[in-house]
Amino acid sequence: MSLQIQMLGTGSAFAKTFYNTSALIRSNELNVLIDCGATTPRSLHDIGVHPDQIDGIIISHIHADHVGGLEEIAFRLLYQYKSKKTKLFLTESLAGVLWENTLKGGMYNPTDGFSRLEDYFEVIHIEENVPANILPGLTIEFISTLHIPHKLNYSLFINGRTFYSADTQFNKELLVQEIVNKRNCHTILHDCQLSGNGFIHATLEELLTLPDYVQERIYLMHYDDDMMNFVGKTGRMTFIHQHEVIEIPE
């Protein structure tokens, strides 16, 4: 069975039309989230997927458009679904930052026995740059990439065929030499800032400098609400749309 990726949102942190960028991996009847931004619970509702149907959540970094929905998911699993714990996949370093700097303020409740991330999720630490078989038929590699200086950030390599940038600055050498030429990556889902300077995201202008054989593998995501103004201006790259499903061949 081929792996499917369905985009729950394709918008930037400030987009209102397309929801925050996150995705749902469907593999062997399992559902795994890539990130869980503030709009992710609503998008799951839109496609009829309930929190108790999520078998795992992968976290790339801790900006709100990537983790802002975790509190809702955790509380609903606790109160609506009889304390069900879903798996939370992330590096050990990121787990500490996620709890202490992001979730603790709203979720810390020692009176009822909830004072750690592990009290809400089955936390599974993944080592950087080492492929990990996290669930049957699903292998994830956390690749350290630069988004905001001095902040932990990871892109993902899925089943040895798909690169998912999450958020990252443009890195031509990584995309061309490592991801495509060395690893023979079939599909790339890459964040794209459509205009302006690419201080924290790859820009469309930068991505258009990639060779055609790399561009033709790229789906563009994490774009602004004016995306329609750029249709036909993306070279051999393609915009991926909210709730669109793509098949990833084995």
Query: Where in the sequence numbering do the catalytic residues fall?
Result: 71, 108
Residue 234 Cα distances to 81, 132, 227, 238, angstroms? 44, 33, 11, 7
CA neighbor of 165 nearest in space, from 150, 143, 198: 143
Closest of 36, 47, 28, 61 to residue 134, by C-alpha: 28
The Cα–Cα gap between 156 and 188 comes to 10
Q: Are 108 and 73 in contact (CB under 8 A)?
A: no
> 243's torsion region: left (phi>0), alpha (psi -120 to 50) or beta?
left
Amino acid identity for residue 210 in this structure? L
Question: Which DSSP category does 29 fall into?
Answer: T
Helices (H) and strands (E) in the chain, counts: 8, 14
Phi, psi (degrees; rounded to nearest 5) at 46: -60, -35
Calpha distance 41→232 (Å, rounded): 32
